[in-house]
A and B are shown apart, each in its own frame.
Chain A
Amino acid sequence: MDIKDIIKPENIVYEKPRLMNDNPMHYCPGCSHGVVHKIVAELVDEMGLEEKTIGIAPVGCAVFAYNYLDIDWIEAAHGRAPAVATAIKRLNPDKFVFTYQGDGDLAAIGTAETIHACNRGENIVIIFINNGIYGMTGGQMAPTTLLGMKTSTCPYGRTAELNGFPLKISNILAQLDGTCYITRQSVHNTAAIKRAKAAIKKAIENSMEKRGTSLVEIVSTCNAGWKMTPDEANKWMEENMFEKYPLGDIKDTIVEK
C-alpha cells in the first residue's frame, strides 16, 4: 500500500487540533498543561466557537497559553482573571469566555475574585489546574500543597502549624448558589482525558446557555516542581493527590434532558 493511500481523512486516528499552532511549548515534558490546552483547542473548534471565544490567561505557567491557542486572549494580573472575565462576558454576553488558572492564581492571590465571580453566577468557564505547587516561579508552596509535601518554601514539608491545610477550593465554590457545575478531573491517562474533555464540554455548554458559573478542576502533575520523572509524577498524583482531591463531580445542578 502506498503512503498516499494511507493518508486520507477517513484514516486519521489522531491529529493536532486546528486551533493549536506550531509554537514550541515552554511547558516541561510531562506537564499536564499541554493536554488541557489540547482539549480546549479541540472543543472550541468542535463546538464552532472559534469566532466567539475569548480566553483569559493567568499569571503562572499558563501565562503564555496565548502563544499556543489561536483564539483571542487577554493576559490578566495575578489572580484577577475571574474579574476580567466577568466584565468581558457581561459586555459581550454571546461570547464564550473562559479563564485558565493555576492553584496559586485561583486559590491564593485570586481567592476573592474567584469566590465572587462564582457567587454572582457569571456565565463563564473556569479551568483550574491544581498541581499543588507554584511552577512558574520555581516550585514554591501553593495553597493546595499537600501536608508533608516538600517545596522550595516548605523545604522540610508543609505543616499545618506553619502553613495551614491544603485548600479544597472547588468544594467551597460548590457551596455557592451561583455555580451550576463543579467537577474535579485529571488528564494522566486516556480514560481520564476523555472524562476531562466531556466535563469541559459540559462547562462550555452551561456558559453558553447562561446557567451560571462552571469550574473544571484538573488535578495535575508538575513533575519538574515535584522533582520526579513524568511517570513517577503520575503515580505520585494517583497515590497522594487523589486522596486529598478525589476525582468526580462535586456539584452538578444541570439535569440532562
Chain B
Amino acid sequence: MSEEIKLLKGNEAIAHAAIRYGADGYFGYPITPQSEIMETLMTLKPWESTGMVVLQAESEVAAINMVYGGAGSGKAVMTSSSSPGVSLKQEGISYLAGTELPALIVNVMRGGPGLGTIQPSQADYFQAVKGGGHGDYKLITLAPSSVQEMADFVYLGFDLAFKYRNPAIILADGIIGQMMEKVILPPIRPRRTEEEIRSQCPWALQGKPKGRKPNILTSLELSPAVMEENNLRFQAKYREIEKNEIRYEAIDCEDADYMIVAFGSLARICLKAQEMARAEGIKVGLLRPITLWPFPSDIIAEYAKKVKGIISIELNAGQMVEDIRLAVNGTIDVKFYGRLGGIVPTPDEILDVIKKEYIG
C-alpha cells in the first residue's frame, strides 16, 4: 500500500506514521495532551502486522531507558510525552546523545512550570534546543505546524537520527496534538532486517559473532583527554548537521517590511494574521523555522538586512527570540510577543500587536 488519506488528530498521525515507517518499538507513559499516541498504537496492534513492539512503561524514566536499550540494538525506537514527562526523560536523552544512539522523541508541549496546565504551550523550546539534560549535546529539533507534518516528521526524525547517530525530537504542542486535519500518510516501509541493521549499524548490539570485537555502548570515559576527543567529535557532528539540515518556510518575506518569526501551531495563526496585514496593505512576511535546532540563523540574518522590523511570536515568555537576537547580532531591533499558561492568541490579536509595534 502506498499513500493513504485519513482524517486524524496530530497524535494519531504520529502513531500511524510510526507503524508505516517501520518503527521497531514504542515505549511510553500516559500524559495529557499526547496519550492518543500510545492509545492509537495499542488499538492498531502493530505487533500483529509489522512486528513492532509497543509497551506501556512504568514511568517516563523507564520509557526513555527502554528507548536507550532498543536504540542500542540498532532498532528504530521512539517515545512520546508532554512537558513534565519530557523533563523526566532528560537524563536518558543525555545518555542517548552521549552514546550517539539514534532515537525519536516526541514532546507534545503543555504549559509549565511544574505540573502547569494541560493547555498548549511552547515553553520547552529552551529545553529542546539548548540541551535539556546535562553535558554539551544537541537534539535535532523538528517543529510541526500541521497534522501532516506530525506524520512526515516521524519519517524525517528517524531518518536524521540514523543518518547522524543522534536523537531527534518532534517538538509539537497541544494544539497540533489534538487538532484533526486531513493527512496523507506516507508510503509504508518495511522494518529493517537483522542483516540490514548489521550492515547499516555496525555498532549495534546483536550478540558478538566470533571474530568481531565486542560492541560496547557507553557514554563513560574517565580519561579527560579521550573525553575531550569524544566531545570534539560530537561538536564536529553538530556543525555538520547545522550545515546540512536547516529547514524553514518563508512566506512573503522577500518584499516584507516586517517579518514575523513563529513556529509550530502558532505559525498557523500568525499566517492568518500575516494575510490580514497584507490585505490592509501592511507588508508583513512570515518566517517559520521547521528545524529549531539547527536554527535558521543565517537566513534570519539575511532577512534582517532587508526588513524594518522582526517580531518573534511564541507561546512562552520569550525563548526563540533569544536565538533570533543572536542571529541578527544587534543589527536590527527584534520584538517579542507571547502568551502564557495555555492561552492561544487569535489572528486579530496578533495583527493588533503588529500594528501597535510598527504602524502606531
A84-B58 in contact (CB<8A): no
Q: How far is the CA of A86 from the CA of B62 in the complex (A)?
A: 10
A87-B217 in contact (CB<8A): no
Task: For A59, give the chain B residue with the smallest CB separation.
Answer: B220
Using A71-B214, A72-B215, A75-B217 as known contacts, say yes or no to A91 and B207 having CB atoms under 8 A apart: no
Of A8-16, A47-55, A150-158, the one contacting chain B is A47-55
Q: Which residues of B contact A74 (CB under 8 A)?
A: 68-69, 72, 99, 205, 216-218
Q: Is A176 part of the contact surface with B, judged by Cβ < 8 Å? A: no
Q: Is A70 part of the contact surface with B, judged by Cβ < 8 Å? A: yes
Using A53-B207, A87-B66, A91-B77 as known contacts, say yes or no to A77 and B95 having CB atoms under 8 A apart: yes
A84-B65 in contact (CB<8A): yes
Q: Is B57 part of the contact surface with A, judged by Cβ < 8 Å? A: yes
Task: For A51, give the chain B residue with the smallest CB separation.
Answer: B207
Q: Is A83 part of the contact surface with B, judged by Cβ < 8 Å? A: yes
Q: Is A92 part of the contact surface with B, judged by Cβ < 8 Å? A: yes
Q: Is A90 part of the contact surface with B, judged by Cβ < 8 Å? A: yes
Q: Is A116 part of the contact surface with B, judged by Cβ < 8 Å? A: yes
Q: How far is the CA of A179 from the CA of B77 in the complex (A)?
A: 26
Q: Which residues of A contact B57 (CB under 8 A)?
A: 83, 116
Q: Is A88 part of the contact surface with B, judged by Cβ < 8 Å? A: yes
A90-B53 in contact (CB<8A): yes
Q: Is B75 part of the contact surface with A, judged by Cβ < 8 Å? A: yes
B77-A87 in contact (CB<8A): yes
Select B65's contact among A70, A80, A91, beta carbons within 8 Å. A80
Q: How far is the CA of A113 from the CA of B210 in the complex (A)?
A: 33
A57-B218 in contact (CB<8A): yes
Could you tell me how many residues of chain A have their Cβ less than 8 Å away from some Cβ of chain B?
35
Q: How far is the CA of A112 from the CA of B70 in the complex (A)?
A: 19
B25-A83 in contact (CB<8A): no
Min CB distance A27 to B, Å, is 15
Q: Which residues of A contact B217 (CB under 8 A)?
A: 73-75
Q: Is B27 part of the contact surface with A, judged by Cβ < 8 Å? A: yes
Min CB distance B93 to A, Å, is 11
Min CB distance B133 to A, Å, is 10
A87-B215 in contact (CB<8A): no
Using A66-B214, A77-B92 as known contacts, say yes or no to A92 and B66 having CB atoms under 8 A apart: no
A51-B95 in contact (CB<8A): no
Using A77-B91, A90-B53 as known contacts, say yes or no to A72 and B62 having CB atoms under 8 A apart: no
Q: Which residues of A contact B216 (CB under 8 A)?
A: 66, 72-75
Binary per-residue interface labels of chain B (42-82) against chain A in the complex, 1 for a CB within 8 Å, 0 otherwise: 00000000000101011101110111111011010100000
Task: For A21, give the chain B residue with the smallest CB separation.
Answer: B214
Q: Is B346 part of the contact surface with A, judged by Cβ < 8 Å? A: no
A80-B92 in contact (CB<8A): yes
B25-A75 in contact (CB<8A): no
Q: How far is the CA of A90 from the CA of B27 in the complex (A)?
A: 11
Q: Is B208 part of the contact surface with A, judged by Cβ < 8 Å? A: yes
B215-A76 in contact (CB<8A): no
Which residues of chain A from 123 to 178 have any CB-CB distance to chain B below 8 Å in the complex?
none
Which residues of chain A from 38 to 86 have any CB-CB distance to chain B below 8 Å in the complex?
49-54, 56-57, 63, 66, 69-77, 80, 83-86
Q: Is B329 part of the contact surface with A, judged by Cβ < 8 Å? A: no
A72-B214 in contact (CB<8A): yes
Using A87-B69, A91-B75 as known contacts, say yes or no to A50 and B208 having CB atoms under 8 A apart: yes
B219-A91 in contact (CB<8A): no
Q: Which residues of B contact A188 (CB under 8 A)?
A: none
Q: Which residues of B contact A80 (CB under 8 A)?
A: 61-62, 65, 68, 92
Q: Which residues of A contact B53 (CB under 8 A)?
A: 87, 90-91
Q: How far is the CA of A84 from the CA of B59 in the complex (A)?
A: 13
Q: How far is the CA of A66 from the CA of B72 in the complex (A)?
A: 14
Min CB distance A107 to B, Å, is 16
Q: Is B281 part of the contact surface with A, judged by Cβ < 8 Å? A: no
Min CB distance B192 to A, Å, is 11
Using A84-B68, A88-B72, A88-B73 as known contacts, say yes or no to A50 and B210 having CB atoms under 8 A apart: yes
Q: Which residues of A contact B67 (CB under 8 A)?
A: 87
Task: For B53, give the chain A residue with the smallest CB separation.
Answer: A90
A52-B207 in contact (CB<8A): yes
Min CB distance B86 to A, Å, is 16
Q: Is A197 part of the contact surface with B, judged by Cβ < 8 Å? A: no
Using A51-B210, A52-B207 as known contacts, say yes or no to A84 and B66 having CB atoms under 8 A apart: yes
Q: Is A33 part of the contact surface with B, judged by Cβ < 8 Å? A: no
B77-A75 in contact (CB<8A): no
Task: For A94, give the chain B residue with the smallest CB separation.
Answer: B207
Q: Which residues of B contact A184 (CB under 8 A)?
A: none
Q: Is B209 part of the contact surface with A, judged by Cβ < 8 Å? A: yes
A72-B65 in contact (CB<8A): no
A91-B70 in contact (CB<8A): yes
B58-A92 in contact (CB<8A): no
Q: How far is the CA of A140 from the CA of B25 in the complex (A)?
A: 38
Q: Is B24 part of the contact surface with A, judged by Cβ < 8 Å? A: yes
Using A74-B205, A77-B91, A83-B57 as known contacts, say yes or no to A56 and B69 having CB atoms under 8 A apart: yes
Q: How far is the CA of A53 from the CA of B27 in the complex (A)?
A: 23
Interface residues of A (CB under 8 A from B): 49-54, 56-57, 63, 66, 69-77, 80, 83-88, 90-92, 95-96, 112-113, 115-116
Subset of 11 A-B contacts with CB under 8 Å: A51-B210, A54-B206, A71-B208, A72-B205, A80-B68, A83-B66, A85-B69, A86-B69, A87-B25, A87-B69, A90-B55
Q: Could you list 19 further interchain pairs (A-B, Cβ under 8 angstroms) beyond the known A74-B72, A88-B69?
A: A50-B210, A54-B206, A54-B207, A70-B214, A72-B207, A72-B216, A74-B99, A77-B65, A84-B68, A85-B69, A87-B25, A87-B27, A87-B53, A87-B65, A90-B70, A95-B207, A112-B62, A113-B58, A113-B62
